[in-house]
């Protein structure tokens, strides 16, 4: 913030000819802190290495007195090569405005195209056409399960009754996942616009954004964005002069991972204890306060305006935003076309492990997902290919692990997470996760026998098959997928006597 | 009223549309274990003991919350389900402190009966021996958390039938606990009407009348159904 303030002071001097603004995340976390310099169409990312805010402001002043900023690279800084794979292989359509616009300034977002698609949709006044477009685009839910978005919208639209509700699930809780946060902090209006279009399409009058309390900056920016959009008439009554009205309110979670599960999320919005309930009835039929409710994830909504802007052909197969972490040379948030191979993402773009150790596995989908072995790195990243490997696309967390990683350790980490986050409603998840973690710890302490390993596998299957909600059903996935692809890691941890049996 | 015909194990069953699979199973006199379910209370599908296999569905479905559909083919007692039920019962025993010999419900306990029924002679999982307390602050009743299996029957009967909503679930996961009021001692909760319905529906010895021994301790789950039915026909004052 000091850098922003100092540079803004420079820009305010008469005749500086530049504007300085705060923007959301640029993407390459490992190169941060970052700022960008835009001259005409040319945008360069500059990584601050060792200079202070006041030094940078002085350099800016000097550069301005010399003339253009086109070649400017301050001392103690490094200009990122726009042709580097991390940047060049991305297709930023959802994240297009992230890092470009000031997320706290609606007029800046508007000048970059925000709310134009909502305006066009309201002018065309054809909700069926909107749903049809979403259906034909093949867009699938970006929150994890990958349910076809168009089908969900059509179901809610077809529900009887005049009152309907819309929910945006911004309870991003997977360890190593920060895609939705990037969108919300960098371009909140894209989500609001997507929600307004969705509300128009399904006939909802009121919406909720359910966001985790651990995202204070995203909450502050969303609050501001909602207030500005209301003031500007993009939310509220008779939006853009049409007969369509849509109100939006923010609900902040209280730190429970399970509230990302849609029925628990609904309970939480209603002010009840955030525990899941059996489905059916699905939220499309019986959602918030018993009304038909459309629930989509942040990134799904953020796809809607860009889908309308590009049209089916140019939108193509669409993109997925991933957050890359773990043993990689370059980490951060990237957006790539669906179907990009894992190898391209983790080796070419992220540069593989920093000290050239071989990759052992890539974890996707958080505690609900699994580990993909290095041998399967050529798999295209799409919903069905990942499912076939025993993991899920998930919300987009991608953790790369090198050869020093013990996969039993990884499984134990995720099991401890699920154990901690289990709501406790159903027995298999409440107690099964405890016993599974105990078995994994026993293995790690080299005290386990072959019988323990068998029990681990059997109990994993029971918890998967018997649990009430998605959290419990997928809690054993990190165990089952590592057992499937890395059984040797488990066998090596058996008691010395047992391993030879 | 339309009727659905379904096949459960090797029996053909006809039952009114809108019924649950559990009702259909019971109408065919097939034994499927339940713990959280109780006629007269809203279903929660939490204990997972009534999971059944439905042909054409990959997932196991909880019979208590699944509505019958015409032509359904249901299996209630496959070896997979038997093994699963035994595992669930063992998990219940491992997470609490269930010591039958010193329990007021010994011989009258649904958990104990189920353990016998599923053939559990020991738990294959390590016992947790959690440090749980006993609340004896109520003048007439007691609550022993060591014996609680979190079926939430007491929560629901107090809320839905008595209308007092004394009980709730506090915390989460393995730390879940039944709480009275705002996690106060039961005796300090003014909302409690001392009706004793929670004692009657408790499947174990977690909730009990003070002064009762194993000879006197009897659950009365049938009374609840009679009460709810009577109210719905307006035979009884609510």
Give A348-373 as a 3 state SS string. Answer: HHCCCCCCCCCEEEEEECHHHCEEEE
**Residues of A whose CB is below 8 A from B44:** 277-278, 425
**Residues of A whose CB is below 8 A from B57:** none
Fold that domain A319-402 belongs to in CATH: Ubiquitin-like (UB roll) (3.10.20)
Vertex A268, ends A265 and A269: CA angle to 5°? 90
Size of interface A-B (CB pairs under 8 A): 89
Tokens 């569905």 map to which residue?
B57
**CA distance to B147, B184, B210, B216, B217, per residue, from B194 (Å):** 21, 16, 13, 19, 17
Nearest CA in chain B to A427: B47
Is the Cβ pair A424, B60 closer than 8 Å? no
Taking the Cβ of residue A424 and every Cβ of chain B, the question of whether any pair is shorter than 8 Å is answered with yes
Closest chain B C-alpha to A389 CA, distance in angstroms: 18
Task: Convert the pLDDT of each residue in B199-210 to its tens digit.
Answer: 999 999 999 999
Q: Strand pairing of B3-8 and B73-75?
A: parallel
**Residues of A whose CB is below 8 A from B128:** 434
Is the Cβ pair A277, B60 closer than 8 Å? no
Q: Which helix (H) or strand (E) holds A107?
A: helix A106-111
Contact A326, A401 (CB under 8 A): yes
Question: Using CA atoms in the order A173, A179, A181, A183, what is the torsion angle rounded to 10 degrees?
Answer: -150
**Residues of B whose CB is below 8 A from A468:** 45-46, 48, 62
Nearest CA in chain A to B45: A278
The values of phi and psi at residue A121, to 5°, are -65, -40
**Residues of A whose CB is below 8 A from B165:** none
Closest chain B C-alpha to A166 CA, distance in angstroms: 25
pLDDT in tens, chain A (501 residues): 688 898 898 888 888 888 999 999 999 999 989 999 998 888 899 999 888 888 888 889 888 888 888 888 988 899 999 999 999 999 999 999 999 999 999 999 999 999 999 999 999 999 999 999 999 999 999 988 899 999 999 999 999 999 999 999 999 999 889 999 999 999 999 999 999 999 999 999 999 999 999 999 999 999 999 999 999 999 999 999 999 999 999 999 999 999 999 999 999 999 999 999 999 999 999 999 999 999 999 999 999 999 999 999 999 999 999 999 999 999 999 999 999 999 999 999 999 999 999 999 999 988 888 999 999 999 999 999 999 988 888 888 999 999 999 999 999 999 999 999 999 999 999 999 999 999 999 999 999 999 999 999 999 999 999 999 999 999 999 999 999 999 999 999 998 775 555
- Residue A241, token pair as written in the block: 């002069």
The residue extents of the domains of chain A are 2-82, 106-313, 319-402, 407-499
pLDDT for A333 equals 96
Q: Which helix (H) or strand (E) holds A401?
A: strand A397-402
Closest chain A C-alpha to B128 CA, distance in angstroms: 9
Q: Which of B45, B84, B95 sits opposite A468 (nearest CB)?
A: B45
Q: How many residues does chain A have?
A: 501
Q: Measure the CA–CA gap between A288 and A14, rounded to whole angstroms.
A: 54
**Residues of B whose CB is below 8 A from A421:** 172-173
CA pseudo-torsion sign B137, B141, B142, B143: negative
Tokens 């038909």 map to which residue?
A292
Q: Which residues pair with B73 in a beta bridge?
A: B7
Is the Cβ pair B44, A277 closer than 8 Å? yes
Nearest CA in chain B to A471: B173
pLDDT for B238 equals 47
Is the Cβ pair A424, B172 closer than 8 Å? yes
Name the CATH code of domain B3-77 (choices 2.40.110.10, 1.20.1740.10, 3.10.20.740, 1.10.3720.10).
3.10.20.740
Closest chain B C-alpha to A442 CA, distance in angstroms: 11
- What pTM value is reported for the model? 0.93
Contact B50, B33 (CB under 8 A): yes
The values of phi and psi at residue A253, to 5°, are -70, 180
In words, the CATH class of domain B83-232 is alpha beta
Is the Cβ pair A425, B91 closer than 8 Å? no
Taking the Cβ of residue B168 and every Cβ of chain A, the question of whether any pair is shorter than 8 Å is answered with yes
Task: State the Rg of chain A over Cα.
Answer: 24
**Residues of A whose CB is below 8 A from B173:** 419-424, 430, 433
Q: At what angle do helices A188-202 and A149-158 cross, to 10 degrees?
A: 50
Fold that domain A106-313 belongs to in CATH: Rossmann fold (3.40.50)
Is the Cβ pair B169, A273 closer than 8 Å? yes
Contact B20, B88 (CB under 8 A): no
Candidates B35, B45, B95, B62; CA nearest to A426 is: B45
Contact B132, B95 (CB under 8 A): no
Nearest CA in chain A to B93: A431
Is the Cβ pair A459, B46 closer than 8 Å? no
Task: State the Rg of chain B over Cα.
Answer: 19
**CA distance to A103, A126, B89, per residue, from B97 (Å):** 54, 62, 13
Say if residue B159's pLDDT is above 60. yes
Closest chain B C-alpha to A273 CA, distance in angstroms: 9
pLDDT for A3 equals 84
Candidates A335, A353, A364; CA nearest to A86 is: A335
pLDDT for B235 equals 63
pLDDT for A498 equals 59
Is the Cβ pair A425, B44 closer than 8 Å? yes
Contact A36, A44 (CB under 8 A): yes
**CA distance to A53, A225, A414, B172, B180, per residue, from A102 (Å):** 20, 11, 36, 40, 50
Is the Cβ pair A424, B65 closer than 8 Å? no
Q: Which of A258, A427, A465 sits opposite B60 (nearest CB)?
A: A465
Task: Convert the pLDDT of each residue in B42-91 to its tens digit.
Answer: 999 999 999 999 999 989 999 999 999 999 999 999 999 999 999 999 99
Taking the Cβ of residue A468 and every Cβ of chain B, the question of whether any pair is shorter than 8 Å is answered with yes
Q: Strand pairing of B51-54 and B73-75?
A: antiparallel
Portions of chain B given CATH number 3.10.20.740: 3-77
Taking the Cβ of residue B92 and every Cβ of chain A, the question of whether any pair is shorter than 8 Å is answered with yes
Q: How confident is the model at residue B236 (pLDDT cuts 50, 70, 90)?
A: low
pLDDT for A176 equals 87
Candidates A33, A19, A37; CA nearest to A82 is: A37
Q: At what angle do helices A298-315 and A188-202 cross, to 10 degrees?
A: 80
**Residues of B whose CB is below 8 A from A462:** 83-84, 87-88
Is the Cβ pair A465, B169 closer than 8 Å? no
Portions of chain B given CATH number 3.30.70.20: 83-232
Q: What is the SS3 assignment for A268?
A: helix
Is the Cβ pair B174, A424 closer than 8 Å? yes
Is the Cβ pair A426, B94 closer than 8 Å? no
Say if residue B221's pLDDT is above 70. no
Is the Cβ pair B46, A425 closer than 8 Å? yes
In words, the CATH class of domain A407-499 is mainly alpha
Nearest CA in chain A to B126: A435
Q: What is the SS3 assignment for A199?
A: helix
Question: How far does CA A67 lie from the centroid of its chain?
Answer: 41
- Which one-letter DSSP state was computed for residue A437? H
Taking the Cβ of residue B150 and every Cβ of chain A, the question of whether any pair is shorter than 8 Å is answered with yes
What are the strands, taking DSSP E only, across A159-274? Answer: 165-170, 206-211, 247-252
Closest chain A C-alpha to B28 CA, distance in angstroms: 24
Q: Which of B45, B87, B173 sits opposite A430 (nearest CB)?
A: B173
Q: Measure the CA–CA gap between B166 and A489, rounded to whole angstroms.
A: 50
Contact A32, A25 (CB under 8 A): no
Question: How far does CA A231 lie from the centroid of its chain?
Answer: 28
Chain B 99-138, CB below 8 Å of chain A: which residues?
124-126, 128
């Amino acid at each position: 913030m000091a850098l922003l303030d100092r540079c803004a002071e420079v820009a305010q001097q008469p005749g500086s000819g530049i504007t300085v603004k705060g923007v959301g995340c640029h993407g390459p976390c490992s190169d941060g802190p970052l700022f960008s310099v835009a001259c005409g169409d040319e945008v360069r990312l500059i990584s601050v290495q060792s200079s202070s805010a006041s030094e940078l402001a002085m350099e800016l002043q000097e550069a301005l007195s010399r003339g253009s900023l086109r070649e400017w690279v301050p001392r103690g800084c490094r200009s990122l090569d726009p042709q580097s794979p991390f940047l060049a292989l991305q297709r930023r359509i959802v994240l297009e405005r992230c890092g470009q616009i000031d997320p706290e300034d609606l007029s800046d977002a508007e000048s970059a195209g925000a709310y134009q698609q909502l305006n066009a949709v309201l002018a065309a006044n054809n909700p069926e056409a909107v749903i049809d477009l979403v259906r034909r685009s093949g867009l699938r839910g970006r929150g994890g399960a990958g349910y076809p978005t168009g089908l969900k919208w059509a179901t809610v639209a077809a529900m009887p009754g005049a009152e309907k509700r819309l929910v945006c699930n911004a309870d991003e809780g997977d360890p190593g996942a920060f895609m939705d946060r990037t969108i919300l902090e960098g371009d909140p209006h894209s989500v609001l616009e997507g929600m307004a279009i969705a509300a128009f399409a399904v006939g909802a009058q009121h919406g909720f954004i359910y966001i985790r309390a651990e995202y204070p900056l995203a909450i502050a920016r969303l609050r501001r964005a909602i207030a500005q959009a209301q003031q500007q008439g993009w939310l509220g009554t008779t939006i853009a002069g049409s007969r369509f009205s849509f109100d939006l309110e923010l609900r902040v979670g209280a730190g429970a991972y399970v509230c990302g599960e849609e029925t628990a999320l609904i309970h939480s919005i209603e002010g009840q204890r955030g525990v899941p309930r059996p489905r059916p009835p699905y939220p499309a039929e019986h959602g918030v306060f018993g009304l038909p409710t459309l629930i989509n994830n942040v990134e799904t909504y953020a796809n809607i305006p860009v889908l309308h802007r590009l049209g089916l052909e140019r939108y193509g197969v669409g993109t997925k935003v991933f957050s890359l972490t773990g043993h990689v040379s370059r980490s951060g948030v990237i957006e790539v076309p669906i179907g990009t191979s894992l190898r391209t993402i983790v080796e070419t773009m992220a540069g593989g492990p920093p000290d050239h150790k071989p990759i052992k596995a890539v974890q996707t989908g958080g505690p609900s997902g699994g580990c993909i072995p290095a041998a399967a790195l050529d798999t295209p990243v799409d919903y069905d290919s990942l499912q076939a490997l025993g993991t899920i696309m998930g919300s987009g967390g991608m953790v790369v692990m090198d050869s020093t990683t013990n996969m039993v350790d990884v499984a134990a980490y995720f099991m401890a997470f699920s154990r901690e986050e289990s709501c406790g409603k159903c027995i298999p998840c409440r107690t099964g996760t405890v016993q599974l973690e105990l078995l994994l710890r026993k293995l790690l302490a080299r005290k386990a026998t072959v019988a323990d390993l068998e029990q681990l596998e059997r109990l994993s299957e029971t918890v998967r098959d018997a649990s009430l909600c998605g959290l419990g059903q997928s809690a054993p996935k990190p165990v089952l997928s590592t057992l499937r692809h890395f059984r040797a890691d488990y066998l090596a941890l058996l008691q010395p006597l047992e391993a030879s049996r | 009223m339309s009727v659905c015909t379904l096949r459960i194990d090797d029996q053909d069953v006809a039952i009114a549309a809108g019924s649950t699979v559990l009702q259909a199973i019971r109408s065919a006199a097939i034994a499927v274990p339940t713990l959280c379910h109780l006629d007269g209370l809203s279903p929660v599908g939490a204990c997972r003991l009534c999971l059944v296999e439905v042909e054409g569905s990959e997932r196991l479905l909880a019979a208590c919350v699944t509505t019958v559909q015409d032509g359904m083919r249901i299996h209630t007692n496959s070896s997979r389900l038997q093994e699963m039920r035994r595992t669930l019962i063992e998990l219940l025993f491992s997470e609490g402190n269930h010591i039958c010999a010193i329990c007021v419900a010994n011989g009258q306990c649904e958990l104990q009966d189920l353990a016998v029924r599923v053939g559990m002679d020991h738990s294959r999982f390590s016992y947790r021996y959690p440090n749980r307390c006993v609340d004896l602050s109520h003048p007439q009743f007691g609550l022993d958390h060591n014996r609680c299996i979190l079926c939430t029957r007491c929560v629901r009967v107090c809320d839905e039938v008595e209308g007092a909503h004394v009980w709730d679930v506090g915390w989460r996961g393995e730390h879940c606990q039944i709480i009275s009021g705002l996690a106060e001692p039961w005796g300090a909760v003014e909302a409690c009407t001392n009706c004793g319905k929670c004692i009657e529906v408790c499947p174990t010895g977690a909730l009990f009348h003070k002064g009762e021994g194993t000879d006197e301790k009897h659950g009365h789950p049938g009374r609840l159904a009679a009460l709810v039915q009577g109210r719905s026909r307006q035979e009884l004052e609510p």
